[in-house]
Amino acid sequence: MRAAPPTTWPLARQGFWRLAHATVPALAGASLGGALAPWPLPAALGAAALAAVLADRLWQRRQPAVLTWDGVQWQLDAREGSPRGRASLIWDGGRWLMARWHDGASLADRWLLLDRTDGASAAGWHALRVALVQGAGARSAVSPGTSCVEVA
């Protein structure tokens, strides 16, 4: 089996993932505000708006990051001395991907959100998807308890 071609892709900055990142705290704020206030509807709307605004500000303050596959190994933020690790596909939604980054140095996991519109080319997007699918199974780096969804 041939290895996937090298590719570089920025982590999501706009679009679907930004909306999802603001929606989850907004729903939590709405349920909390509606449960604790004497007037549930206004409190729920206010808490939802506040939570969404705060979550969006945190989203915008994130440092831009890039996921790189060089044909042999993964790297997050292709700067000198940046961590190398493993990336595995969690969810493939066609134009949106969710992957798990396992840092080789600190052994920490991180969720990576990727959007096709953030990159430059359709060929690069395809190469990224192939690398995520092949990268997990090709080196047998998958732990025995990993589900099929995480591998494929």
pLDDT over threshold 90, residue 148: no
pLDDT value at 50 more than 80: yes
pLDDT level of residue 64 (50, 70, 90 thresholds): confident
pLDDT digits (tens, 9 = 90+) for 20-44: 889 999 999 999 888 888 888 888 9
- Cβ neighbours around 4 below 10 Å, total: 19
Q: How confident is the model at residue 97 (pLDDT cuts 50, 70, 90)?
A: very high
Q: Is the pLDDT of residue 137 over 60?
A: no
52 confidence band (pLDDT: 50, 70, 90): very high
In whole angstroms, what is the distance from residue 129 CA to residue 84 CA?
Answer: 19
Work out the average pLDDT over 87-95: 92
Q: Phi and psi dihedrals of 144, rounded to 5?
A: -60, -30
**Segments making up each domain of the chain, as ranges:** 64-139
pTM given for the model: 0.71
**Rounded Cα distance, 113 and 43, in Å:** 31
- The pLDDT mean for the chain works out to 83
